[in-house]
Amino acid sequence: MADEKLVKSRQRVADHGEVFTPRWLVDDMLDLVGDETERIDSRFLEPACGSGNFLVPILERKLAVVQRRYGKSAFEKRHYALFGLMCIYGIELLADNAIECRENLAGTFARVLKLEQSPGGHASQSLSERSETKRDPLLAAAEAVLASNIVQGDALAMTDAVGAPIVFPEWAYLGRGRYQRRDFRYDALTQRSAASGTLFDAFEEHEIFTPVRTYPVMTIEEIAA
């Protein structure tokens, strides 16, 4: 697109080497791994995700697959759409970009699934009426997922904004509206992927890289809460 903005400022380019990849080039690159982008459960990590130039098109492709496969079942469509989002990860050094990336992904998710984004109802409503206007829990769950999956931090140092080790959740969809979450340290995952394949690839019971936390099985409503 001719009006696509590839830099925010010359100073940011000088300070951080920040230049965004144009959409046409992103699409060409994703076409090279087209089979993976059309797998709902394929996991993508962008270690310098910016405002989501790569992650948003990946999400769009995943959601298109969800629509084709599960569009006739609202229940399955909603749950597999969230699982597709759960399989997208990003690390971004600059705080404003990380926030924008989460917002862009949440906005794309809401737009494609036609979810209500307004958290407080209409301005013309009374306070009591607004309190009764509830957001779709699927969007709230998506935002909770993105808060964990899109990390502000240093991908090279593998630390977050406060210097702690980056931790990523491994999400699994168990069917019947239930999800499992386990958290792993990013530095351990990269060591494992270098030896055996990809992040979260085929964990076994004897795996030495054990999760730092395992959560109870959750529903969309519980993730949203």
Q: How many helices (H) and strands (E) does the chain have?
A: 10, 7
Please report, to the nearest 10 degrees, the dihedral formed by the alpha carbons of residues 189, 218, 142, 25 taken in order.
30
- The gap from C-alpha 172 to its chain's centroid, in whole angstroms, comes to 14
The 8-class DSSP code of residue 218 comes to B
pLDDT tens series, the chain, 225 aa: 446 665 454 654 444 455 567 888 889 999 999 999 999 999 999 999 999 999 999 999 999 999 999 999 999 999 999 999 999 999 999 999 999 999 999 999 999 999 976 555 444 445 454 444 578 999 999 999 999 999 999 999 999 999 999 999 999 999 999 999 999 999 988 876 555 555 555 555 445 578 999 999 999 999 999
Q: Which amino acid is at 61?
A: R
Cβ neighbors of 78 (< 8 A, separation 6 or more) are 113, 138, 220
pLDDT for the residue 202: 52
Q: Is the pTM of this model over 0.85?
A: no
Q: Distance between CA 121 and CA 107 in Å, rounded?
A: 17
The alpha carbon of 162 is separated from its chain's Cα centroid by a whole number of angstroms, namely 21
User: Which of 1, 4, 73, 46 minimizes the C-alpha distance to 168?
Assistant: 46
Q: Report DSSP letters for 158-189, one per residue.
A: TEETTSPBPEEEEEEEEETTEEEEEEEEHHHH
Tokens of 201: 């690839």
Per-domain residue ranges of the chain: 10-159
Laid out side by side, the sheet with 88-92 consists of 44-46, 88-92, 150-154, 159-160
214 token code pair:
């395992």
- Euclidean distance between CA atoms 106 and 104, whole angstroms: 5
Q: What's the Cα-to-Cα distance from 20 to each of 15, 52, 127, rounded to whole Å? A: 14, 9, 42
Q: What is the pLDDT of residue 21?
A: 74
